[in-house]
Each structure stands twice: as C-alpha cells, then as structure tokens.
Amino acid sequence: MSRLDDELRQALRPAAPSDGFAERVLARAAARQPNAVRRPGLRWVAAAAAILALFVVWLDREHDRKVATESAKEQVVLALRITAEKLQLVREKVQQVNQ
C-alpha cells in the first residue's frame, strides 16, 4: 500500500505553472469579456429560469401542504367515526345494566 501512497503523493504534488501562464489566463479572460457584453439577454433568461424554478418549488410545497391537510382531515373523520361507534357500544352497555 505504500507504493500507492507514493504514487498519490507524486501525482498530487504541487507543480509550478509554466512561463507565461498568468498572462495567457488573463488574455483569455479579456478575450471572453466582450462576449458577455454582446449577450445581455442571457442574464434575463437566467433570471426568468430562476424565477420559474422558485415558482415550481412553491407549487410543489403548496401541493404537499394540501395533501397533508387532506390526510389530516381524513384521520379526524376516521377518529370521529370510531369514537361514535365506541360511544354507541357504551350506551348500549349502560342501557343493559340499567334494565
């Protein structure tokens, strides 16, 4: 396993950039900058996509809230039905004892 460790150390060892690296990066960045200026509509598309995504998330949460509300309502109705049945049984027992 030490051979693998040595190979990883060798592969991940910091290396000095070649001569002129910074200048090449800055030149490429400067060359791309006018492209961004030529496409101002792209920002509007990105903003619209972000707003649409937020709206979809809101709709999904609203749907989940409605589903949870319906589920809670069904559980309450079931609990009331069971309670009513049990109360009816208790009434019948009380009537039997009183007779």
**Tens-place pLDDT, residues 12-41:** 888 888 888 888 888 888 777 665 556 668
SS3 18: coil
**Tens-place pLDDT, residues 36-66:** 556 668 888 888 999 999 999 999 999 999 9
The whole-angstrom separation of Cα 86 and Cα 99 is 20
Q: Which residue type occupies 24?
A: R
User: Rounded to the nearest 5°, which phi and psi values hold at 23?
Assistant: -65, -40
Q: What is the pTM of this model?
A: 0.45
The whole-angstrom separation of Cα 78 and Cα 86 is 12
